[in-house]
Amino acid sequence: MRLWVSSALRLLRATLALVVVALVLIVGYSQFESQQPMPLRMPTGADQVGRVIYSWVDHARMDPYAPDPHTPRELSVWVWYPAAPATGAHPAPYVPAEWERALAYAGDFTQSRPSAIRPHAYDGAAVASGRFPVLVLAPGLGMGVSNYTTLAEEMASHGYVVVGVNPTYSTSVVLSGGRLVSAVPKAADDADLNQLNFVWAADMRFVADHMLALSIATDGPFSGRVDPRQVGYFGHSAGGAAAAEACRLDPRCAGAADLDGDLAGEVVRNGLNKPFLFLGQDGSLAASSQTLTSLRGLLRGETPGQAHVLTIAGTRHVSFTDRSGEFNLFKQQPLEGSRGLRIIGEYVRVFFDAEMRGRDGRLLTAPSRAYPEVHFESP
């Protein structure tokens, strides 16, 4: 008996030692990989891209998530745009240094650190000559718009001004003066999704109004550079739902694109009746899914050919973000990240090109040999 117990203890100690060694190796590998330079996918358009970050306050609305109910809604807004950077300029960091410090990104070694990610936009570069249509972008719940830099840069390189909204209290943000405002449960994981949809849709319409106002100002970098006649809305997950609702409420809206989001709000009950693109992950429209049910509500009354419902084989919910192309210790998606982002960028661009610029939209009408992963759905 003693011999058996002694052998069992030796085996247990050896097993524990192997587990410890394995954990040390995994942590070391992750720490190393998370710091390796990670270039984002190169934009395919002809324009170079600039980026500026603003804090805008909507004095007409009080923030329902703020500790003080009399606090006006304040948003961190990131704008990507066609640019004419100075000779010798260097691309901006993925997130500004104050954001990286305030949000303590450095402690997470399971995915690429922001300091290792290499975007292509130039901070504060001069706006290129011309007048450009505006697209407003909202992120998924709990995420910031920096996670959609690949898609934003792609659209800006094709001549769009992309105005990204960071929904205060739904994700941690840095506002004017370097103030860190952390996410709170009632605006994030515990949120009433109908209220959240209403607030985010109002955020998107506010930044659209503000951006269009900058275009008619007598001076400023965007003076005379933005086409004020129409706007497009798009977003991922909860941001896609908010995009559809914002479009429903905005008479200037030329169309909305929902990237794998369950729809909510009045747009589900009353329909959109405007151009609409749904791009979903593999299997997102399974029978009886919430995504399918809400989508059928939005499509009520849509003119034939006005709505496009597509899914992409091999994708997951995270595939619509930069994270799909970065190092991630727990990544699980069959389709390679860069390929997925290429497909998403192409279909979003063709949709808005067709609706806002009258360009060829045939990619949205039938399967393409170039993108066999894309499936046309009939919800």
Q: What is the mean pLDDT of residues 48-59?
A: 97
Parallel/antiparallel/unpaired status of strands 179-181 and 173-175: antiparallel
Q: Hey, what are 369's tokens?
A: 């040999």
Whether residue 372 lies inside any domain: the answer is yes
Cβ-proximal residues to 210 (8 Å cutoff; 6+ apart), any chain: 56, 77
Q: Which residue has the tokens 């699980």?
A: 332
Pairwise pLDDT comparison (167 vs 114), residue with the higher score: 167
346-376 per-position pLDDT tens digit: 999 999 999 999 999 999 999 999 999 999 9
Give the domain extent around 281: 35-376
What is the rounded (10 degree) CA torsion for 90, 55, 156, 232?
180
Pairwise pLDDT comparison (269 vs 304), residue with the higher score: 269
pLDDT of res. 112? 63
Pairwise pLDDT comparison (278 vs 17), residue with the higher score: 278
CA-to-CA distance for 180 and 187, rounded, in angstroms?
A: 16
What is the rounded (10 degree) CA torsion for 269, 206, 254, 201?
-20
pLDDT of res. 77? 98
134-183 per-position pLDDT tens digit: 999 999 999 999 999 999 999 999 999 999 999 999 999 999 989 999 99
Q: Which residue has the tokens 């002694």?
A: 6
29 pLDDT higher than 50: no
242 pLDDT higher than 90: yes
Q: What is the CATH number of the domain that holds 170?
A: 3.40.50.1820
CA-to-CA distance for 142 and 236, rounded, in angstroms?
A: 11
Whether residue 20 lies inside any domain: the answer is no
**For helices 193-216 and 238-249, angle between their N-to-C axes, nearest 10 degrees:** 60
Average pLDDT, the chain: 88
19-33, 37-51, 178-192, 359-373: which range is least confident on average? 19-33
Q: What is the mean pLDDT of residues 224-243?
A: 95
Pairwise pLDDT comparison (307 vs 218), residue with the higher score: 307
91 pLDDT higher than 50: yes
Whether residue 9 lies inside any domain: the answer is no
Q: What is the mean pLDDT of residues 264-268?
A: 92
Whether residue 369 lies inside any domain: the answer is yes
**Residue 338: what are its φ and ψ, rounded to 5°?**
-65, -35
Residue 187 and residue 169 in contact, taking contact as beta carbons nearer than 8 Å: yes
CA-to-CA distance for 59 and 54, rounded, in angstroms?
A: 16
Q: At 304, is the secondary structure helix, strand, or coil?
A: coil
Q: At 286, is the secondary structure helix, strand, or coil?
A: coil
Cα distances (Å, whole numbers) of residue 339 to 40, 125, 136, 345, 371: 12, 29, 24, 10, 10
pTM of the model as a whole = 0.89
Pairwise pLDDT comparison (208 vs 105), residue with the higher score: 208
Whether residue 131 lies inside any domain: the answer is yes
Q: Hey, what are 300's tokens?
A: 């009520």
Q: What is the mean pLDDT of residues 314-325?
A: 86
DSSP for residue 327 = -
266 pLDDT higher than 60: yes
235 pLDDT higher than 50: yes
Pairwise pLDDT comparison (43 vs 18), residue with the higher score: 43
Whether residue 110 lies inside any domain: the answer is yes
Pairwise pLDDT comparison (13 vs 183), residue with the higher score: 183
Q: Apex CA 147: angle with CA 246 and CA 316, to 5°?
A: 85
Q: Hey, what are 37's tokens?
A: 């330079």
Number of domains in the chain: 1
pLDDT of res. 379? 77
Whether residue 171 lies inside any domain: the answer is yes
Cα distances (Å, whole numbers) of residue 99 to 104, 173, 174, 185: 8, 8, 6, 21
319 pLDDT higher than 80: yes
- Banded pLDDT at 378 (limits 50, 70, 90): confident
> First-to-last CA distance in the chain?
67
Phi-psi region of 375 (alpha: psi -120 to 50; beta: other; left: phi over 0): beta
Whether residue 346 lies inside any domain: the answer is yes
Q: Which residue has the tokens 């170039």?
A: 370
199 pLDDT higher than 80: yes
Q: What is the mean pLDDT of residues 115-127?
A: 92
pLDDT of res. 21? 57
Q: What is the mean pLDDT of residues 176-194?
A: 93
- Banded pLDDT at 1 (limits 50, 70, 90): low
Q: Which residue has the tokens 């997130």?
A: 95
pLDDT of res. 60? 97
Burial of 217 (0-12, 13-18, 19+ CB in 10 A): exposed
CA-to-CA distance for 260 and 59, rounded, in angstroms?
A: 32
For the ranges 38-47, 236-245, 298-307, the maximum mean pLDDT occurs at 236-245
User: Which residue type is seen at 107?
Assistant: G
pLDDT of res. 62? 97
CA-to-CA distance for 31 and 11, rounded, in angstroms?
A: 30
DSSP for residue 238 = H
pLDDT of res. 197? 96
Pairwise pLDDT comparison (118 vs 246), residue with the higher score: 246
